Amino acid sequence: MILLGVVENRDKTLSASGIESPEKLIADFWNTVNNSRKVSRNILVDRHVQVQDVGGKRIITIEVPRAGRSDKPVYLNNDMFQAFRRNGEGDYRRSRESIQAMLRDAAPETQDMRVLEHTPFTVFNPDSVKGYRNAMKSTRPGHVWEKLDDDEFLLKLGAVARGEDEKIHPTAAGLLMFGDEHEIVRIYPHYFLDYQEHFDLSMRWTDRMISSSGEWSGNLLDFLYKAYNRIIQNPNIKTPFKLDGMTRVDDTPVHKALREALANCLINTDYYGEGGVVIKNYSDKITIENPGGLRLEISEAISGGLSVPRNEVLMKMFNLIDLGERAGSGIPSIYQVWSDQGWAAPELSERLDSLERTTLLLPFAKATTKGSDKKVAIKSGDKKVATKSKTQRDTIVEYVKQNEVIRSSDLLEVLNVGGQRIRKLLLELVNEGVLIAEGGNRNRTYRLNEERL
């Protein structure tokens, strides 16, 4: 949100100073952003630019939406490398690597659809292919592909495809899913999968498994199973004894959520990015980190309903063995399972510098209640009642009363609306003197103005 005609006071609160001729300024603004020689693409529409009255003074609000992946990068002066990212209170030039990542994401076909015309079929690990087919027989018994030979099966799956030479070759998805590590790194030089256990903090790690060890295939399919089987040994993950007839059932919603988190990570990794996939298993938490930023706003990913995978074929492959949610419900289901367990909410975050990465933190600490250091948890049922009977502004004020000091990000799940809407509501409450804002943009907190109570 860009505000014109507003000053920031020493205590970090905002006051309206006003603009005498906002209409002329807005006309100049539209002339500039619609000039393709100045700005590569205009992603705003009329409703994003408004004149508002604040205490009798007119200000301009410009709401800048997140650009769609096909629009990125947006840059200046016909120079693709004059692209910037807003970070806290500064604008930072995008690195060449991050711009190249945007261009890859902008393509209509996802990265893993690439046909590798110079890669032979021998890159596939036969045990991995066999293991996948067995998993699919278990999850989808009697599927029409079950009787196909391997070549036909891999073609249906998208692991191989016809190239421009009209011959069948492995795809990037097939190589990542079933290939041997030494073959994968020929196409993806930064490819690296790393699972670490940190149960004794006096040691760098208590156990580790990496894709380049040469002790196993090093591909995505085998890594998912190996990492999952180690993660569920965490003492916080209980496996109750249940019977289905005479068969023991060891699966729980937590187990399913962990498989979903692992599959979601591997589906949305930018395998050209640096740093590799890193999973760390601690006694009190699990972190899952991958190269590449989110393709949605964090609030949209948490609320669900929209699926924009970075690797569409990998998603299909995992779906067929009941891993990875196509409907965009994977992340919300993980949050719900953690809430049902009474654990603190997961944290989904992005690192947005030259090395773009996404991290999902899954804590095992109990959710805190009022009187503790952390925010009061609002149950989903209470949340629905609150939003029906109160306005969003009332809900924010009530939440601040309960927790004393909050950040805008704390309201994402409380209100179930986007970050831009939350920032607008907070700005209104600050301008009206109901809330007091403290700190810079990146670390800004909000508390009640006691004088107004």
Is 293 inside a domain boundary? yes
Same structural domain for residues 132 and 194?
yes
* H helix count then E strand count, the chain: 15, 19
- Look at residue 68 and tell me whether its pLDDT is greater than 50: yes
Overall number of domains in the chain: 3
The last residue of one of the domains, among 59, 94, 129, is 94
Q: Burial of 78 by CB count in 10 Å (0-12 exposed, 13-18 middle, 19+ buried)?
A: exposed
The overall pTM is greater than 0.85 = no
Predicted pLDDT at 382:
40
Strand intervals (E) in 193-292: 193-198, 207-210, 242-244, 247-249, 277-282, 285-291
Name the pLDDT band for 87 (thresholds 50, 70, 90). low
**Structural domain that includes position 89:** 2-94
Stretch among 64-68, 157-161, 388-392, 418-422 having the lowest mean pLDDT:
388-392
Segment 256-301, tens digit of pLDDT: 999 999 999 999 999 999 999 999 999 999 999 999 988 777 887 8
* Residue 141 in domain: yes
300, 333, 363: which is the final residue of a domain?
A: 363
**By mean pLDDT, which of 56-70, 283-297, 415-429 is the weakest?**
415-429
Instruction: Quick: pLDDT tens for 434-446.
Output: 888 887 666 688 8
Same domain for 231 and 322, yes or no, is yes
Element of type H or E holding 297: none
Residue 105 inside a domain? The answer is no
Q: Do both 230 and 292 map to the same domain? A: yes
**CATH number (domain holding residue 390):** 1.10.10.10
For residues 414 and 340, give the distance between their C-alpha atoms in angstroms, rounded to a whole number: 16
Half-sphere exposure of 403 (CA within 13 A, CB side): 23
Q: Residue 50: which of 35, 64, 38 has the closest Cα?
A: 64
Q: Are both 73 and 191 inside the same structural domain?
A: no
| pLDDT of 379 above 80 | no
Q: Which residue has the higher pLDDT, 406 or 431?
A: 406
Q: Which of 37, 190, 1, 194 is nearest to 100 (CA)?
A: 190
Residue predicted with more confidence, 23 or 383:
23
Residues 71 and 116 occupy one common structural domain: no
What pLDDT, on a 0 to 100 scale, did the predictor assign at position 241? 63
Q: How far apart are CA 267 and CA 320, in angstroms?
A: 13
Q: What pLDDT digit, counting tens, does each position of 209-229 carry?
A: 999 999 999 999 999 999 999
The DSSP 8-state label assigned to residue 366 in this structure reads: B
Q: Which pLDDT score, from 0 to 100, does residue 428 have?
A: 85
pLDDT score of 437: 85
> What residue type is assigned to position 121 of the chain?
F
Query: How is residue 61 written in tokens?
Result: 């609000």
CB 449 within 8 A of CB 434: yes
CA 396 to chain centroid, in Å, comes to: 25
Which phi and psi angles does 69 have, rounded to 5°?
-65, -30
pLDDT band at 371 (very low <50, low <70, confident <90, very high): very low
At a CB cut-off of 8 Å and minimum separation 6, what does 220 contact? 176, 177, 193, 266, 314
User: What confidence category does residue 128 fall into, taking pLDDT thresholds of 50, 70 and 90?
Assistant: very high
Q: Quote the CA–CA distance of 269 and 376 in Å, as a whole number.
A: 33
Amino acid present at 182: H
Same domain (yes/no): 342, 387 = no
Do 318 and 175 fall within a single domain? yes
**Position 372 in a domain:** no
| DSSP calls for 258-277 | HHHHHHHHHHS--TTSSS-E
Domain co-membership, 263 together with 201: yes
3-state secondary structure of 179: strand
**If you average pLDDT over every residue of the chain, what do you get?**
85
Q: What is the CATH number of the domain that holds 19?
A: 3.30.950.30
Give the Cα separation of 414 and 407 in Å (integer): 12
Q: What's the confidence (pLDDT) of residue 245?
A: 61
Question: What pLDDT does 223 receive?
Answer: 97
